[in-house]
Amino acid sequence: MSRFIVRRFLSVIPTLFIIVTLSFFLIRLAPGGPFSGEKKLPPEIMANIMRKYHMDEPLVKQYFRYMGDVLQFDLGPSYRYKDQTVNDLIGNAFPVSVMLGTMALGTALLLGTIVGITSALKQNKWQDYAAMSVAVLGISVPAFVVGPILMLIFALKLKWLPTSGWLSSRAGALTLIMPIITLMMPYFAYIARMSRGSLIEVMRSDYVRTARAKGLKESVVIRKHVLKGAMLPIVTYLGPAFSGIITGSVVVEQIFVIPGIGRIFVQSALNRDYTVIMGDVIVYSIILIAANFVVDILYGLLDPRISYK
Amino acid sequence: MKRVLSGLLLIVMAATLIVSCGGKGPAKGVEFVMNNGAEPQTLDPSKIQGVPEHKIYMALFEGLVGYDPKTSLATPGVAESWTVSPDGTQVTFKLRKTTWSDGTKITAQTVVDSWLRTLDPATASEYAYMAGMVVKGANEFNAGEAGKEAVQIRALDDYTFQVDLLGPMPYAVDMMAHYTFAILPMHVINAKGEDWIKVENIVGNGPFKLAEWKPQESLTVVPNDKYWDAKTVKLSKITFLPIDDNLTAYNKFKAGEVDWAHGIPLSLVDEIKLRPDYQVAPQVATYYYLFNVTRKPFDDVRVRKALTMALDMQELVDKVTKGGQLATSSMVPAMEGYTPAKGPTFNVEEARKLLAEAGFPDGKGFPKTPILYNTSDGHKIIAEWVQESWKKNLGIEVTLLNKEWKTFLDTRSNAHDFDIARAGWVGDYLDPNTFLDMFIIGSGNNDGLYANPEYDALVKKAGTMKAGPERMATLQAAEALLIAKDQAVIPFYHYVEQDLIDTTKWDGWYANPLGVHDWKYIGPKK
């Protein structure tokens, strides 16, 4: 097991290296640059800027300079937000996205499993149909529809919640409610459907039949035998779901004006803020790789049939 | 399983705890929240460019002169008065005795050092060219061709500052309200370097000082009690929000979370223009299409005129843009002392005749030309209207080609790879020159490659003339060449500033030509 972990961990390094190298050159292929605008800068001014950011050097030299900095955990200056480094920008934004993502995923997991279990136990009854209809809605209606509808109802019509903003705004923590609901919807729906399906499957399995045959009470069968087996797919889903919810919060962050990493990512791409794009790519890559890594290990711990030799 | 469940419970409990903590209570005094439209790129006046940064600059700093809240012309700032030499090429400013927010004195030498910092090539200021347009020796220093002593600015004594201009430039003093001419806290910059702009270090000389800056979330300023005119300041706090989506900002405005929203969502213009708190003011800015005059058939002035005359700009502003924009046939908006030249107006018959003369009777044989514009709903509906009008009035087919902003700029301005492209130009100062000097041969902003030596001669001549009707007539003659004779561009309309602010509730906010609003005058209506 520990050898597997070490091996997996080492394989992360070349993966990251390739991602960073490819991104570095690819983003520079996009037309335009960080300093182009409606009013074109005079050549002398442009020369001053290029010199300041070492952009007058050959690209390969810039690449080695950048890689050298990255190895020292310095992601460089932002070309657009001149008072801030990429480390500052990501350092401010990343915790916001993680907080939002964790709360949304936590809520989705709790509600999703409750709804899923209820549906499975009341299979083909009205509770089941109702819950699964909500789940289908949750999966099929995208965030850019859910968000504005919530905003229209709860902020503009009922005036219960602030339209947008984050913790430091006047409304404080009330700003969290709509983004969490919007962001969790597809995950909640997916978890509900998955736990229902998995529960039904497990309930029909041989060992559950054996448990019932032993004369155990139904509640004990469900708690001790069914749930444990049925939760396995959900736990393994949490890894990709976590990375998905962090990297996929872009739309929700835009709608509700949340200062998270998704907003920065979109803006940096539009602004050709090369260093910020690179920083985001690195952070996103690490999240994705780490999430898969954790899932692989969890698999081994939860499912005795899987071993790492 | 138990562990998973208890972990879950913890998360939910934590979330509930955070939610139940509630918001902060309002502070005392009159607070004001504005949506600034974007996160400021920087607070360093030497490096800023753009409207959101300017709005914050106006709170934190003040130059030699400020902007009049109604006319946008220069008003006394750090300079209490100024005199212009008889030949118009030298300005002497008399400074008032005032200090930075930390109590350090502001002297004429501070002004000299500040301007030199902005012009220093190592600072890499994007707007340094603006100082280069008026201050003698500024360009040479900024381009690295000369030392700082080449810049003709000087402190005659502690409170007298003098600048030599490149010529008798009547707009020079008005221009000096711009942040390129900011006065900087050199004592802090010298001590802290690039970090001088951090919240814990920054000092300013504006009506407000920085209290808090949460990047991408909000920026807050509170009154600066060291400001020389502190008694005029009425607000106790201003919060700037960086919301870039006008619809979100509008929703916040409607919900009462924002007091002033700059810009409106175009899709709701019909609803918004009926609101009493919708403010429209003519802006010194023009929306236009430009021809690549080196490409066939647009190298033929008859084709350019025909296309222009087949567009009814009044219809455009009444039925398409609908926000109160001003239809025009001129490149330069009307300004004090300047009557814009008139280009040809809507005339389908004449347009058809010209097109036939150019070899395309009833539009036959006219190449299928793409209209290049940057991706945006607003530009799209205008391009569609143009497409429809040309088809209806001239019988020609054009296609629409939209590109993402930076790609669009690269295509239009660097590669000049277009036949017809959309453009917009916002004046940097109140003088026709800001709209005309970009069309001279070799100008970096002459994207359509217009080339008429006669035009260049007129614009350059006006640059050496003293203020007055003669100079304005010269500029008008140049504009006439550009639009009436050569039709290098098709002017559509002059932009309007579109703001949402309830002026029955707020005082001291006036719609004005440059869209600059001095914060010290804004306050609750009594």
List the one residue out of B283, B241, B247 whose CA is nearest residue B263: B247
- Residue B16's pLDDT band, with cuts at 50, 70 and 90, is very low
Cα gap B48→B20, rounded to integer Å: 40
Q: Average of pLDDT values for A198-220?
A: 88
Q: Are B250 and B261 a contacting pair, CB within 8 Å?
A: yes
Q: Is B124–A33 a contact, with Cβ atoms under 8 angstroms apart?
A: no
Residue A175 pLDDT > 90, yes or no?
no
In this complex, is the C-beta atom of A157 within 8 Å of any C-beta atom belonging to chain B? Answer: no
Which residues 208-227 of chain A have a CB within 8 Å of chain B? 227
Which residues in chain B are closer than 8 Å to A33, comparing Cβ atoms?
406
- List pLDDT tens digits, range A230-270: 888 888 788 888 888 888 888 899 888 888 998 888 889 88
Q: Nearest CB to B15: which of A44, A88, A106?
A: A106
DSSP B148: G
Q: Is B8–A49 a contact, with Cβ atoms under 8 angstroms apart?
A: no
Return the higher-pLDDT residue of A307 and B511.
B511
Cα gap B347→A209, rounded to integer Å: 87
DSSP B419: S
Q: Average of pLDDT values for B410-428?
A: 91
Residue B15 pLDDT > 70, yes or no?
no
Q: Is B413–A42 a contact, with Cβ atoms under 8 angstroms apart?
A: no
Structure tokens at B324: 């109160």
- Residue B382's pLDDT band, with cuts at 50, 70 and 90, is very high
pLDDT for position A24: 93
pLDDT for position A149: 92
pTM for this prediction? 0.83
Cα gap B479→B459, rounded to integer Å: 9
pLDDT for position A304: 66
- Residue B21's pLDDT band, with cuts at 50, 70 and 90, is very low
In this complex, is the C-beta atom of A54 within 8 Å of any C-beta atom belonging to chain B? Answer: no
Which residues have C-beta within 8 Å of that of residue B481, sequence separation ≥ 6? B452, B454, B455, B458
Cα gap A39→A35, rounded to integer Å: 10
Residue B126 pLDDT > 60, yes or no?
yes
Which residues in chain A are closer than 8 Å to B139, comparing Cβ atoms?
44
pLDDT for position A307: 65
- List pLDDT tens digits, range B182-194: 999 999 999 998 8
Q: B209 - beta bridge partners?
A: B222
Q: Nearest residue of B to residue A113 by CA position?
A: B5
Q: Is A151–B121 a contact, with Cβ atoms under 8 angstroms apart?
A: no
Q: Is A42–B129 a contact, with Cβ atoms under 8 angstroms apart?
A: yes
Residue B14 pLDDT > 50, yes or no?
no
Which residues have C-beta within 8 Å of that of residue A50, sequence separation ≥ 6? A56
Which residues in chain A are closer than 8 Å to B18, comparing Cβ atoms?
103, 173, 176
pLDDT for position B314: 96
Cα gap B113→B280, rounded to integer Å: 39
- List pLDDT tens digits, range A12-57: 889 889 999 999 999 998 888 888 887 788 888 888 888 888 989 9
pLDDT for position B50: 80
Q: Is A173–B245 a contact, with Cβ atoms under 8 angstroms apart?
A: no
- List pLDDT tens digits, range B223-237: 999 999 999 999 999
Residue B7 pLDDT > 70, yes or no?
no
Cα gap A275→A69, rounded to integer Å: 11
Q: Average of pLDDT values for A133-145?
A: 89
* E strand residue ranges, chain A: none
Q: Is B15–A156 a contact, with Cβ atoms under 8 angstroms apart?
A: no
Distances (CA, A) of B33 to A170, B96, B252: 10, 31, 10
- Residue A308's pLDDT band, with cuts at 50, 70 and 90, is low
pLDDT for position B245: 85
Which residues in chain A are closer than 8 Å to B43, comparing Cβ atoms?
83
Residue B12 pLDDT > 80, yes or no?
no
Residue A298 pLDDT > 80, yes or no?
no
Return the higher-pLDDT residue of B334 and B429.
B334
Q: Nearest CB to B19: which of A47, A165, A177?
A: A177
List the one residue out of B45, B124, B413 whose CA is nearest residue A50: B124
Q: How many residues are listed for chain A in this entry? A: 309
Which residues 107-126 of chain A have a CB within 8 Å of chain B? 107, 109-110
Residue B5 pLDDT > 70, yes or no?
no
Q: Average of pLDDT values for B437-458?
A: 92
Which residues 276-295 of chain A have a CB within 8 Å of chain B? none
Q: Is A33–B406 a contact, with Cβ atoms under 8 angstroms apart?
A: yes
Average pLDDT, chain B: 90
Q: Give how far A208 is from chain B: nearest CA, Å.
A: 17
Q: Is B257–A41 a contact, with Cβ atoms under 8 angstroms apart?
A: no
Q: Give how far A22 is from chain B: nearest CA, Å.
A: 21
Q: Average of pLDDT values for A266-277?
A: 90
List the one residue out of B199, B185, B165, B191 whose CA is nearest residue B78: B185
Q: Average of pLDDT values for A96-122?
A: 91
Q: A293-302, B195-204, B282-291, B358-367: lowest mean pLDDT where? A: A293-302
Residue B485 pLDDT > 60, yes or no?
yes
pLDDT for position B24: 37
Q: Average of pLDDT values for B452-468?
A: 91
Structure tokens at B150: 């080449």
pLDDT for position B18: 43
Q: Give how far A139 is from chain B: nearest CA, Å.
A: 22
Q: Is A44–B139 a contact, with Cβ atoms under 8 angstroms apart?
A: yes
List the one residue out of A129, A83, A102 whose CA is nearest residue A249: A102
The size of the A-B interface in CB pairs under 8 A is 182
Residue B13 pLDDT > 80, yes or no?
no
Which residues in chain A are closer than 8 Å to B248, comparing Cβ atoms?
163-164, 255-257
Q: Nearest CB to B215: which of A102, A228, A259?
A: A259
